């Protein structure tokens, strides 16, 4: 089994933006998300993006006037962000998100952990420790925005096989194997170059995190919950 950084560097990062539908639609989607939730700079104007990838969250936050510090395990995806940020105030840091607070010298106004970043953590203890670190470095009246995929209800039989995305040169599929606290995600990619098809494969584990557990832990740590909802399998 590949670790999360190994899986991204050997396979997933090269297809991530493409399989997400392209950078522009994802950036626009998050522009609308931040506008809907009235996320604008009010305090120090410093925001942290945990698991930033190629910048789907970082870019719209910087457009709003935040100074963004973007963390990701994939240098390839951070390179995409560096190439697309133009003059926006974004700093990229190649490190595990569990180490993010060691890179900060002052409290911050906003921390986002979006997409499916949270489920990439190894264990519930790691997630709990991350929540505590987030709470410790937020300014008074700062905000923590988190989204993650609901993996608690297992897909069964053939539903476990998912056609992710395809075009004339690439076919990306995956299948899922459910364990007690994790789901094994097997990514299978066929690419065509000069008429010749090549096959790549890798798998890694994602954490199956119940929304109720997250809500309870955040409350116990000291967060005031503004929104807790599950919309078509994406928890906010």
Per-residue pLDDT of 58-78, as tens digits, reads: 999 999 999 999 999 999 999
Helix residue spans in 51-142 (DSSP H): 58-63, 75-84, 124-137
Residues 53 and 133 in one domain: yes
Average pLDDT value over all residues in the chain: 94
The pLDDT > 70 percentage for the chain reads 99
Average pLDDT over residues 37-41: 95
**pLDDT, position 228:** 87
**pLDDT, position 218:** 96
Average pLDDT over residues 88-108: 97
Instruction: Output phi, psi for 46, to 5 deg.
Output: -100, 130
Give the residue numbers spanning the domain of 175: 157-206
Two tokens, residue 235: 């928890």
Candidate from 6-15, 39-48, 180-189 with smallest mean pLDDT: 6-15
Domain count, the chain: 2
**pLDDT, position 7:** 82
pTM of this prediction?
0.94
**pLDDT, position 16:** 92
**pLDDT, position 170:** 96
Residue 138 sits in a domain of what CATH number?
A: 3.40.50.150
Residues 19 and 66 in one domain: yes
CA 29 – CA 162 distance, rounded (Å): 23
Q: Distances from the Cα of 34 to the Cαs of 24, 31, 148, 168, 208, in angstroms?
A: 15, 5, 16, 35, 26
């Amino acid at each position: 089994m590949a670790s999360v950084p190994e899986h991204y560097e050997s396979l997933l990062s090269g297809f991530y933006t493409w399989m997400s539908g392209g950078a522009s639609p994802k950036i626009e989607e998050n522009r609308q998300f931040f506008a809907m939730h009235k996320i604008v700079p009010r305090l120090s104007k410093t925001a942290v993006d945990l698991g930033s990838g190629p910048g789907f969250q970082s870019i719209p936050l910087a457009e709003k006037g935040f100074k963004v510090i973007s963390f990701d395990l994939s240098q390839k995806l951070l390179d995409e962000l560096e190439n697309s940020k133009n003059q926006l105030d974004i700093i990229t840091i190649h490190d595990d998100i569990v180490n993010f607070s060691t890179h900060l010298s002052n409290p911050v106004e906003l921390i986002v952990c979006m997409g499916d970043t949270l489920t990439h953590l190894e264990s519930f203890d790691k997630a709990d420790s991350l929540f505590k670190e987030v709470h410790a470095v937020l300014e008074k009246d700062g905000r923590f925005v988190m989204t993650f995929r609901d993996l608690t209800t297992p897909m069964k039989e053939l539903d476990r096989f998912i056609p992710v995305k395809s075009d004339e040169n690439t076919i990306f599929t995956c299948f899922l194997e459910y364990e007690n606290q994790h789901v094994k995600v097997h990514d299978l990619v066929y690419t065509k170059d000069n008429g010749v098809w090549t096959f790549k494969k890798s798998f890694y584990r994602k954490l199956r995190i119940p929304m109720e557990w997250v809500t309870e832990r955040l409350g116990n740590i000291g967060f005031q919950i503004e929104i807790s909802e599950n919309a078509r399998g994406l928890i906010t």
